[in-house]
Amino acid sequence: MAFKANDSLTEQIAQYLGKKIIEGDMPPGERIQELRIAAELEVSRGSIREALLILQRRHLVDIYPRRGAVVAGISRDDVRDFFELWFWLLDRLFSELATGWRGDDLAAFDARLTALAECEAAGDWRRYYETGVELLGAVYDRSRNRYLQELLADLLPQSQRCLFIILKGGSARMEHTLAMLTGLFGHVRARDVNAVRATVAEFCKAYTELAEASVGHFAAPR
């Protein structure tokens, strides 16, 4: 693994392991072998442990006394609780965007919506997922509340994990997501906060149901 100078070593390790968890290369319930990973990445075991604490805060691993860290599973209750909080936060962000955008603020979002449409037309769900994550990041960056930004950053990996499984489910899911996002940003452009909030609520309901239907992918073995 090549490390970048502009991010801390611990954060880069957390992102490396987080990506493996998000994309299913490390399945729920798998015990994380600290020594093996430290040797593989040529870093200290202490750095691995610090990275695991970050992943615990981001809800991707569970850490148990005398057992160590394991990849976290997600139950149906977890799905409902997560999406309830996540979309409550998105409701606030999109409502603020609708009332606060100026000039060409929406141009970057328009470009990503165009990219999503191209991915959907090509049937490229993985690139669609990556572009969707970029779009989320751009929405998050609109917040000027640093505490909210920290909370959103900690929730992002869990949302990525759910989005990855949902979008992997087929072209119909990409098409449905794009239609909702296009409508949502149309309401943002029109500064129609009531329509924005209604669309976010619809989005929440649809994605909660899709994630619940996919919960078997997240369940840790008993």
Q: Are 180 and 206 a contacting pair, CB within 8 Å?
A: yes
pLDDT at 111: 96
Q: What pLDDT is stored for residue 5 in this prediction?
A: 47
Task: Copy the structure tokens of residue 51.
Answer: 């990275």
Q: What is the pLDDT of residues 32-52, one digit of tens each?
A: 999 999 999 999 999 999 999
* Res. 217: pLDDT tops 80: no
- Asked whether residue 95 carries a pLDDT value surpassing 90, the answer given is yes
pLDDT in tens, 204-214: 999 999 988 88
Residue 81 has pLDDT above 80, yes or no: yes
DSSP 215: G
Condensed to tens digits (0 to 9), the pLDDT of residues 161-190 reads 999 999 988 889 999 999 999 999 999 999
The pTM assigned to this predicted structure is 0.87
Percent of the chain's residues with pLDDT above 90: 80
pLDDT of residue 214: 82
Cβ contact 16:157 at 8 Å: no
Report the alpha-carbon distance of residue 36 to residue 34 in Å, rounded.
6
Q: What is the DSSP string of 125-159?
A: HHHHHHHHHHHHHHHHTT---HHHHHHHHHHHHHH
Ordered by where they begin, the domains of the chain are: 9-71 (1.10.10.10), 76-217 (1.20.120.530)
